[in-house]
Amino acid sequence: MDRNIKKRVSAVLKYKQMNVNRASKFLDMPQRTLNRQVNEDGNISMELVYAILSNFPEISAAWLISGEGSMIADECVIPEGAVPYYNDLPVSAGLKDAFDPARENPTAYISLPTKIADFYFPVSGNSMEPEINDGDIVGVNKVSRNEGIVHGDVYMIVTNDARMIKRCYHDNNDPNLIWCVSPNYPSFPINKNDVCALFKVVNRIETF
């Protein structure tokens, strides 16, 4: 294998705006193993090469393995059943950019044996720790506002002012209110009319 492949693997992670910690979770590799191969004196394994090519379908296999051609393949073939991942749209209270899959370009795609979620996002912040930790990746499915929430389930809520993960409860007195609850911050209500989009959290790739 080309001895410069280490540089190309690093270039892929830089292109994807991923550090070793996030990449290790995304590629399902131990962080210490990935760090040793990328940043220390370890050799790049074929396992890592296959993981990159499986999860980043736009990366050229010829370029990654031998340095031939360009990093981005001429034709990007998305694996069947792969789910889009948005690395530059972390879920955290206080973010003002709502998520619209029609106008957002995925950073990459996640392939799992069984499709569980429609979209994946990284988590920023500790409001839901220890249930969902900073740096985790969550899978979500879009829910119609008319369908409403399941009392006590965890959702990604998009309003005009924020995109956040909270455990949601119905208000006992006002049917127009949703109570947003997290372990580390005070609970607060939001009006259903202020919800731009609602996504149920159905999967989590946790930090190790």
pLDDT tens string 147-164: 778 999 999 988 877 788
Evaluate whether residue 131 is within a structural domain. yes
Task: Work out the burial of residue 168: count CB atoms within 10 Å of its CB; fewer than 13 is exposed, 13-18 middle, 19 or more buried.
Answer: buried
The answer as to whether 72 is a domain residue is: no
Q: Has residue 159 been placed in a domain?
A: yes
Q: How many domains does the chain have?
A: 2
Q: Are residues 37 and 113 in the same domain?
A: no
Assess whether 26 and 125 both reside in one domain: no
146 and 173 both lie in a single domain: yes
For residue 75, the model assigns a pLDDT of: 63
Q: Does residue 23 belong to any structural domain of this protein?
A: yes
Residues of the chain with pLDDT under 50: 93-96
Q: For the domain that residue 87 is a member of, what is the CATH number?
A: 2.10.109.10
Domain that holds residue 31: 5-66
